[in-house]
Structure 1
Amino acid sequence: MWLLIIFSLFIFSKCLSARNPGIRLQITPRGINIVNTVAAVLVSKNAKTMKITNQAGRDINVEYELKDIKIKKFQLGKSSITRYTANSLKWTAENIDLDIDGQYQYKYRRFSVKYSDKGSFTVNFSKMAFKIQIQLGTDSSGRPAVRASQCVHAYGPIKYVFHGGKDWILKLFAEKAIQGIRNKFQNNLCVIVKTLVDKNAQRTVSNVNVKIPLGNSMMVDYRLLSYPSVSTYHLEVDFKGTVLWRYGQTEAPYSAASFPSNYDTTKMAYIAISDYLFNTMFIKLTDTTCLCST
């Protein structure tokens, strides 16, 4: 069931025809929450091993560098995947808490006054957040496709402490340098989130076989048929759901009946299979019998 839910979240398409589907899959908020839980774990795992480059600069007679920057704690806070538009989702994470430490050094020069020093620093970023849109679609072969876009991040209070050094010199660059670390982290976090969608998820769904052999001569065609409907009740996906000859793919002379409405959300997912799937298989079997009799 878990694999079904995780896979089916990414099965969406652009509208190719007005035909009724042979198979309909509906993912409820409970099912989507399973995907959210898995995604949150992957983000946390990647964020904790993130590399942050040194921050160096020059400002008001002082040259500085923050180096050996390490993430000591990353806590994602609240994560959710919800409806954004009729064909896209929104992944939001709030109340991200981050602890970072590292080393610093500086050189101060003004006329004949010269100072240089080094030490360590710690910083806490709280109430950080990100929001990213997940576009849902299909490729030309009817396979699912996903793409991340519009990653937006926000930040809250910052608390930092520099150990050692002269306070009046540290005040010249500390806030600017810490903001540089924050911006670098948030940009890297968006890259991590986009990579999970654009590469990891897309690689998985692009390998989906949408034509499954059925015996030696037939196959089940379950390419994506219609645009997904994302509502507060379900994430609804329609599949073609028909049986064809493997080498002579003639469509059935009739269409599937429409599915009744379903507003139940007590389960994680619902699958409806039309008689159309079995009827098309029966037609092919009948054709085979006739050919054999002839």
Structure 2
Amino acid sequence: MFLCCWLALVALISMTLSTNPGVKVKLTEKGLDYGRQLGMASIQQRLKTIQVPDISGTQKVSPIGTVQYSLSNMQIVDCGLPKSSVDLVPGTGVRLQIGNAFISLHGNWRVKYLRIIKDSGSFDLNVNGLTITTSIDIKSDETGRPAVSSINCAAIVGSVTIKFHGGASWLYNLFKNFIDKALRNELQKQICPLVADAVSDLNSQLKTLNVVAQVDQYAEIEYSMVSSPTVSKSSIDLSLKGEFYNIGKHQEPPFSPAAFSLTPEINMLYIGVSVFTTNSAAFVYNKAGALSLYITDDMIPQGSPIRLNTRTFGAFIPQIAKQFPGLMMKLLVKTVKNPAITFEPNNVTVQATSTVTAYAIQPNTTLSPLFVLNLETSVSAQVFVSGIRLAGAVTLNKMDLTLGTSYVGEFQVRPLNSILQMVLKVVVIPKVNVQLAKGYPLPTLGKMKLVNTQLQVLKVRDWMFSIKLHAFE
């Protein structure tokens, strides 16, 4: 797998370009070198598959005249790539250089001269000082995923040594030179196509990129690229759309991503998720009606003295107990506009505007509305990486209640604060955290694994977490 660490991050190159991304990925030189180490094994295996065809011909050799020769059953027995490097070419791409490589080959030789004299044996050939230089080109395929290819490849065979076995020893030096030349030309002709094949092999794996990753029954997230990769002296930067959509309906939110940047440090990979991405999630879930919850008494802990019935609420609103005596109640908590998510240093805050509608449950299960409260809440979110998903958990900061509509006459809202705060803490927030703990998929390739993840909220407009890549299987 050649440069898989880098290419694992190249989601797709979209035909439609956008100004700013929602998600940015930065692969540093350290990450690129990690990919080089993984890639060498793939190239080495490819070079071992070199198939050298039988070579035959005639050569005039003084003083015996024309010699017919053939080389057959040639097989690669060993191959080594002890020295390699990967360089970033600003504005262009990546250049791979392999030096001091060697190839060992074994085969059979046969000659015929003076029309009737034949001789044969075997030989071992060692190629040393082999150098390979190639560049990687990235294009978008018909699905919007990247397709990679090797360009500007050059292979130079260094020294060649041949050791013959069997036959008359005086013949060896007579055809050593033209065997050397024939094999050198054949090897040089095959090396670059095999390197190109090793690069091309990545395309099947790149098709596993989760360009559109389903999150749950409501949402999916798109990781298409909004612009081509940017290559600098120190890193490769990828700009991904990073936008949530309702499944089957791609409607753009009424806001756009703002520009932000990532600063390379010491790790292999950095992923920056902007507030646009998280707010697009809020937009999608609110539009899907997923940010609403019916709360019934069986959801309240059994040991709680506060119950969802007209007796409890009647202690604060006497007219409820009078008009609807002895009935159970149900609450509907529902957002009325998109929650607003902001990033501050080491803190993520979510502001939500909701309504709480209280109903009395009649014996025939009919719901009688009692009142509607306006609820403003602020929660802090702890964000973390779980496997290859971004997960989180929230805690309540504060809440504010005001009366929206009353169907039982005027009453003071303040006494209900303790009830609603309890409901939020023991019912609503735990349910939200169960969903958040499931996480949201990060851009991945195949069975990519992430280890030693570090997440940090940086500033108001974006957060960043650094990742060390472990392996690709």
TM-score, scaled to structure 1: 0.87
Aligned to 1:185: 187
* Aligned mates of 2:189, 2:272 — CA distance in 1: 42
Show the counterpart of 1:252: 253
User: In terms of mean alpha carbon deviation, does 47-56 or 130-139 score higher?
Assistant: 47-56
Do the aligned partners of residues 196 and 233 (structure 1) sit closer, same or farther apart at CA in structure 2, a change above 3 Å counting? same
Q: 1:93 to 1:11 in 2, by over 3 A?
A: farther
State the match for 1:282 in structure 2.
Answer: 282
Paired letter, 1:58? T
Say if 2:43 is the partner of 1:43: yes
Q: CA deviation at 1:211?
A: 1.1
Residue segments in structure 2 that go unaligned for 5+ positions in a row: 61-65, 293-333, 337-473
Is 1:234 aligned with 2:239? no
1:25 aligns with 2:5: no
CA contact (8 A) 1:5 1:269 kept: no
Q: Does structure 2 retain, via aligned residues, the 8 Å contact 1:9–1:32?
A: no
Q: 1:115 to 1:10 in 2, by over 3 A?
A: farther
Give 1:241 shift.
Answer: 0.5
User: Quick one: which amino acid aligns to residue 57 of structure 1?
Assistant: G
Find the aligned partners of 2:89 and 2:182 in 1 and give their Cα distance.
Answer: 31
Matched, 1:105 2:106: no
User: What's the counterpart of residue 89 of structure 1?
Assistant: 94
Return the match for 1:133 from 122, 132, 135: 135
TM-score under structure 2 normalisation?
0.56
Larger radius of gyration: 2
Identity across matched positions, percent: 24
Contact residue 99 and residue 130 of structure 2 kept, 8 A: yes
- Give, in whole Å, the separation in 1 of the partners of 2:157 and 2:4: 36
**Is 235-244 or 76-85 further displaced after alignment?**
76-85
| Secondary structure of residue in 1 paired with 2:257 | coil
Partner AA of 1:119 in structure 2: G
User: Partners of 2:142 and 2:51 in 1: how far apart?
Assistant: 38
Structure with greater contact order relative to length (CA < 8 Å, sep ≥ 6): 1
* Structure-1 residue corresponding to 2:68: 63
CA contact (8 A) 1:19 1:255 kept: no
- On the 8 A contact 1:131/1:151 being kept in 2, the answer is yes
Distance 1:166 1:27, change over 3 A: same
Q: Is the 8 A contact 2:285 2:291 kept in 1?
A: no
1:140-174 deviations in Å (ceiling 9; x for gaps) = 43322212222210121222233344566544432
Give 1:187 shift.
Answer: 2.9
TM superposition shift of 1:45: 2.5
**Counterparts of 1:135-150 in structure 2 under 5 Å?**
135-150=137-152
Per mean C-alpha deviation after superposition, the further-off stretch among 210-219 and 121-130 is 210-219
- The structure-2 alpha-carbon separation of the partners of 1:183 and 1:4, relative to structure 1 and needing over 3 Å to count, comes to closer
| Alpha carbons 1:12, 1:227 under 8 Å: kept | no
Distance 2:154 2:83 in 1: 16
Partner Cα separation in structure 1 for residue 253 and residue 142 of structure 2: 22
Deviation at 1:107, TM superposition (A): 0.7
Contact 1:12 1:237 in 2 (8 A): no
Given that 1:148 and 1:194 are in contact with CA atoms closer than 8 Å, whether structure 2 keeps it comes out as: yes
Equivalent residues of 1:148, 1:197 under 8 A apart = yes
Where is the strand percentage greater, Structure 1 or Structure 2? Answer: 2
- Cα distance in 2, alignment partners of residues 204 and 216 from structure 1: 27
RMSD: 2.7
**Which residue identity is paired with 1:244?**
Y
Report if aligned partners of 2:264, 2:270 keep a CA contact under 8 Å in 1.
Answer: no
Structure with the higher helix share, 1 or 2? 1
CA spacing shift, 1:154–1:268, aligned 2, 3 Å: same
Q: 1:9 to 1:221 in 2, by over 3 A?
A: closer
Structure 1 residue 230: deviation in Å? 1.3
- CA distance 1:115–1:14, shift in 2 (3 Å): farther
Does the 8 A contact of 2:46 with 2:194 survive in 1? yes
For the 8 Å contact 2:4–2:39, the answer to whether it is kept is no
